[in-house]
């Protein structure tokens, strides 16, 4: 793909709402701080910009990937040879409707920001997500939360964009919500959702949020770069406890380490590369399988790795 064959016309068009970069290091856009370059990186600030970019990709048969805030993503050291799209501008906006007790939220909005705004408005239901990094769109895609509380339970409807089709609106009941799983098609980009909340005592909301934040700080390595939880918890088990029980707490490969604070986190201690992280992931899967006969399933998404 020639650099300007795909997006040269858009880049030269003053009306294009966004930004286009070539050979952009994705380590700048992931919380783990690793990953090679994207051949083309685009920030789409409007629906029309998103449609233009994905339309060009579709016409030319070029692979594309939508990246949120990079909090649940491992990008290969080789990077990604296609187009990486991130949402900005209009997709960061949100509206609070006090009569309906609903937030209409763009997919690029910060999930922590919406949680804090719910607290400010004195409404509850989103406390489970306090301290959870990433965008609302990313949280929807993976149904962020726990086995008992997740964002899907708060969704009224979701709007997505499908290249060649346009906007698609779904009610929450049209989507399959599971633990770290949803049924959204991979070829659609989530662009907006409506979240319902409920009246609650602000003091109780604050207490619940502080309790969850305190627990996160005590049990997770929040002061080091990571991609969040690497594996889903098996039914009735803790992935972190299984990895620790297999003797891998604190294990290192290169600049990557399985956190001794929480073994389901792999942290970048400085100078880690994606290959280091991937090797630790494989090692954890193998050791847990050997010790417990349990096959761990990765929660983190992979970009640029061989299929």
Backbone angles phi, psi at 304, to 5 degrees: 90, 0
First to last CA, the chain: 21
Paired tokens of 85:
């799209």
Q: Are 167 and 159 in contact (CB under 8 A)?
A: yes
Name every residue whose Cβ is closer than 8 Å to that of residue 243 and which is 6 or more positions away in sequence.
Answer: 231, 249, 258, 263, 264, 284, 287, 288, 296
Does residue 4 register a pLDDT over 50?
A: no
35-94, pLDDT tens digit by residue? Answer: 999 999 999 999 999 999 999 999 889 999 999 999 999 999 999 999 999 999 999 999
Radius of gyration over every alpha carbon of the chain, rounded to an integer in angstroms: 20
Confidence bin at 5 (pLDDT 50/70/90): low
Per-residue pLDDT of 287-300, as tens digits, reads 999 999 999 999 99
Note the pLDDT of residue 11: 58
pLDDT band of 13, cuts 50, 70, 90:
low
Helices (H), ranges, 110-201: 111-120, 136-142
Active-site choice (154, 180, 232, 257): 180
Residue 299 annotated among the catalytic residues of the structure: yes
Q: Does domain 222-303 have CATH number 3.90.78.10?
A: yes
1 or 141, higher pLDDT: 141
Among the listed residues 76, 160, 229, 259, the single catalytic one is 229
In this structure, what are the phi and psi dihedrals at residue 75, rounded to the nearest 5 degrees? -100, 135
Q: pLDDT tens digit string along 161-186?
A: 999 999 999 999 999 999 989 999 99
The fold of 3-90 is 3.30.43
- Name the catalytic one among 52, 102, 188, 299: 299
The CATH code of domain 93-205 reads 3.30.465.10
What backbone torsions phi and psi does residue 242 show, to the nearest 5 degrees? -65, -45
CA separation for the pair 306, 285 (Å, rounded): 18
259 classed as catalytic: no
Domain ranges of the chain: 3-90, 93-205, 222-303
pLDDT tens-digit readout, 198-241: 999 999 999 999 999 999 999 999 999 999 999 999 999 999 99
């Amino acid at each position: 793909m020639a650099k300007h064959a795909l997006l040269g016309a858009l880049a030269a068009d003053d009306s294009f709402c966004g930004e286009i970069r070539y050979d952009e290091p994705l380590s700048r856009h992931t919380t783990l701080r690793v990953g090679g370059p994207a051949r083309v990186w685009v920030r789409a600030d409007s629906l029309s910009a998103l449609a233009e970019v994905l339309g060009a990709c579709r016409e030319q048969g070029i692979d594309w990937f939508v990246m949120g805030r990079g909090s649940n993503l491992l990008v290969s050291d080789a990077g990604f040879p296609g187009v990486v799209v991130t949402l900005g501008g209009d997709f960061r906006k949100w509206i609070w409707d006090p009569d309906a007790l609903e937030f209409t939220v763009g997919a690029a909005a910060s999930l922590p920001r919406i949680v804090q705004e719910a607290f400010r408005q004195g409404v509850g239901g989103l406390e489970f997500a306090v301290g959870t990094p990433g965008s609302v769109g990313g949280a929807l895609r993976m149904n962020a939360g726990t086995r008992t509380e997740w964002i899907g339970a708060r969704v009224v409807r979701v709007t997505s964009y499908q290249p060649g089709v346009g906007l698609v609106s779904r009610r929450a009941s049209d989507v399959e919500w599971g633990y770290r799983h949803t049924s959204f098609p991979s070829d659609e980009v989530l662009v907006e959702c409506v979240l319902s909340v409920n009246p609650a005592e602000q003091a109780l909301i604050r207490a619940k949020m502080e309790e969850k934040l305190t627990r996160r700080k005590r049990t997770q390595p929040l002061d080091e770069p990571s991609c969040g939880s690497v594996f889903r918890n098996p039914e009735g088990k803790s992935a972190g406890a299984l990895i620790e029980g297999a003797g891998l707490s604190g294990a290192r490969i290169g600049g990557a380490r399985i956190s001794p604070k929480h073994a389901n986190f792999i942290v970048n201690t400085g100078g880690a590369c994606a290959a280091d992280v991937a090797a630790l992931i494989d090692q954890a899967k193998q050791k847990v399988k050997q010790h417990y006969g349990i096959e761990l399933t990765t929660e983190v998404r992979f970009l640029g790795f061989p299929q």
